[in-house]
Each structure stands twice: as structure tokens, then as C-alpha cells.
Structure 1
């Protein structure tokens, strides 16, 4: 079959560090070009990876079979809806949007166009964590779980690895909350109720009730002290305690997401982390945000 042509929307740190290098180096796709809201940055990024820069995003869509997105979620939702209408398969970043309405519109556009979609929840594509999750799904019998993600991007002594206005304004709930849900939902099931409480800084604590009867918690922050930053996922149930092993970074996981989009596009089989799953994650996070005390 013909090689998939994949374009890139975005020119920021995430696109520069992860998306563009992976697309340029991937042996089974053609990196068809770059579009960004800053034309000079698009030209620089495209030149660094031997591809074309596009001044018009619709021209990039016309030159591509699929598009990877590395832009803020609500910018992504609008542009990805246009890409789907142009017949492009979608490699989306998380969250797919920050309102259920925008996420639903994107999901419906992908369904109308019958295009494949994959949302890049890092832990679902990193080798060690994805294998661990598959093992826990097969084991079953889980009573409860927790997913804690303490980042220090926005502390005085922290380093904002991917600084952006949307992360600073929406905080840990929307930036790392999708990661937590991406590992809790496939093992414990969909969420039937959520309680949310605010902690220090942007920290949010969630209590989730799952449809199958299990419960879980999540602690989400981008403002934790550097000394205590880190990730922990733990499940407890009939088989004992299962702890997420160390995992590689996004640079190693993203090529796997590209592989799985190619497979979904060629087979027509929906991916577990497709735009519909991304929609559900957005719905739960919006539900949690509504439950947070004001002030």
C-alpha cells in the first residue's frame, strides 16, 4: 500500500522536540509538511527536517493523508474538525478539547468523514506502561486504584518543559488529568460519578466512582515542589497490589502512536484511544471542573 503522508500542525516546543523529529525519522510514512500560526517558525521547523512549510493550513491538509497536532486543545479541536472534513486521519494531542461541545463536534466530524483517529496519551503508547496496562486489564478483579501526577512546571524553582498559556491557565486538571484517566478507565471502567477538591496551587484531587463498582482517586498538579514531583499509579484488588513500572518518555512513545494510526487508517478498525475516548476524557474533566468549589 502507499505510504501515509502525515503533516504537522504546530511549531512550539512539543512539536519541535517530539512530533517533527519522529515524523521525519519514521521509516513507514512521508512527512508531508508543517503549518503553524507563526509562519517563520513553521519555515524553520520544516527546513530542519527536510519538508515543506505551508502558509495555508488547508493546503497542508490537501497534501496529507493524516495530520498530527501539537497545538492548544481548543485550537486543535477547530483545526482537526477541518482536517477531518478534508479527509485526513487524525493524530491528536490530549486533551482533544477543553469543552465537551468542542470535543463532540470533533468526534462527529471524524465519524462523518470516516477517518481514523488516535489520541496521544503517552502512557498508552510507551512500551512498559502499555504492556502493564494490558496485563491489568486481563487480570481484572480490581477494587480500587489511584493515579497521582505531580508536576513542578510552574513553581518558582521548577522548569516549564513545555510552557504555554493554556497549561498555565487550565492547570494540572486539564494537562495531566487526561494521563490519569487514560490509565484508570481501561482497567476500572467508565466513570459514573466524580468528586473534586482543590489543593495548593493548581492541585486538584479527584474521587472517581466507576460503573463496575470500583473506585479510584487522582491527584493532579503542575505546581508541586520539585523535590516531590513524580508519577505513581497503583491498583489494588483480588490479585493484590499492582504498581506501574518506570516508563520511557514521550520521544520513545510517539512513534508507536504513529504506527497505530497507520494501522487504524489501513484497517478501518477503531483504536482504543480514538477521538471518542478523547471525548469521554474531556466530558469527565469538565464534570470534575464543575464540581470544584468556586473561589
Structure 2
């Protein structure tokens, strides 16, 4: 579809009902395999880390086991960090960056910090390369009590016992060209509102918590990622994707108010990464590497604040 054409489902100005959601669902097709791309990799971690099933998505006839990978040498006196990927299933480097961090970097923190990684929060959407779940809900607007999204509820249940002990949480995302060509027009149609086009930033950026901003933490992550790929500049309005740029490559959202994943714990240090995989200046390998660099820098900074380096 083009940005000036009406979305092909629903009536402009009227929110979707069950019939429109059913029509939308009928158009979603499997384009890649969670089992082949994700579960097969997780299996290779079992000799080094603890792997546990923390939930299961049931979208008849499909069923998806959800897995977390944790430090094997877990010690209660150590701080805890949380890494999440694939909350939006179509954001590929969020998933594969999390898996690469486990494989390449997680062992070097053994004995210094407890790490939990949930690399693919939304496997139904991963397979269909979509932002929403099978009920046309955005999991990353659904991290709240009595969540209507299975994906969000399962992750919240996983972290509930430790939510007040987490030192740092980094949530791995992408901003893609399809945000403007498909997902934001679909959102406007679903909610019965007018679609207003915006610019897609070319480069990596972070989303800080406006209720608890940590500028030094964010800049430490930006500095590490800048060695791997380019950082998104502000647009002519001084904004990145509609929000003021408060520091190079950083914007702020009210994470808890919006029901975003990055605020599911009480961690003092939180951030959401945003990689731009459609840039002519970046490759898929760079995008994954940027996510790995972001996770490492975030952990290193947080540990330095508690003297655990």
C-alpha cells in the first residue's frame, strides 16, 4: 500500500471490530521458522547456561514455547540484569542480537552478575514478520496488569519474583521502513484515527525513561554502538521519530504509562534500542553486532555503578 491510500481493511474513522480483526488475521502468513531460527540456537546453549520454558503462547492451531536463558552460576547476592528481544517479532536483530550476545558475551560476566535473556518474546509475530500478535495487539503497549497480550503477560510473570532486584534492563528493537509503509497505517486504521506520516530515522538510537532519565547510561551505550554502526541524527525539527532528541541518539518516552517492556521492572537503568536495518549504510550483521555492543555496554555501565567490575 502507499502512504496516501486508505488502509485496505476497515472503514476510515471507525475502529475495527471482530470482523476486521479476523480479516486482518486471515492475511497473515508464516514467512520464517521460530523453531529453525531460534529454538535450534537455544538448544546449543544448554551446556553452558540454564534454559527454562517460562510460558507458552496458544493461538489455535499454533502453540509456541517461550524460553529464557539464565546464568548457570546464579548467586543471590549478585545484581540481576534483564535482556529482552523480539517483543516485536518483525524486528529481527532484536532476536538474533540477543542470541548472539548469549553465545559471544554472556559467559564473560560469570560470577559478576546474574543475567536473564528472553530472546524472542513474540514468536507468532516473529514467524509472520509482524509487529502485532494474533489478536492485532501490540505487545509493547501491553505490559500492564491484566495484560490482554499473552506475550506480555508471560514475560511479566517471569520477572515478577525479581522485578524489584533488577539493576538494568535493555530491550532490543528496530525501527524499519515498514513502520511507515504498513504498521503505523494499520494502527491508525485499527483505532479509527487519521494516519499522519512521519520520517524513519537513518541510524541507531535509544529510548530512555522520561520518568527516570539516565543520560550518562544512555551515552555509554551510544558510544559503544557508534563503533559498530552510525547513530541517527535529529530531523529538521530536532526530533527522532516525533520526539525531541534530548542527547545524541537519545529520545525519551514515559515507559510505564505507555505499557512498554523496558519498564516491567524497577531497574534504575533501562533503555530500548532501535536499530535501522533498512539503511544503505548498515548490514544485517552490523545490526546484530550493534545490539550485542549495546547489551555489553549497558551491563558494563550498570556494574560500574555498583562496584562489580
- Which TM-score band applies after superposition, normalised by the shorter structure? under 0.3
TM-score normalised according to structure 2 size? 0.24
More strand by share: 1
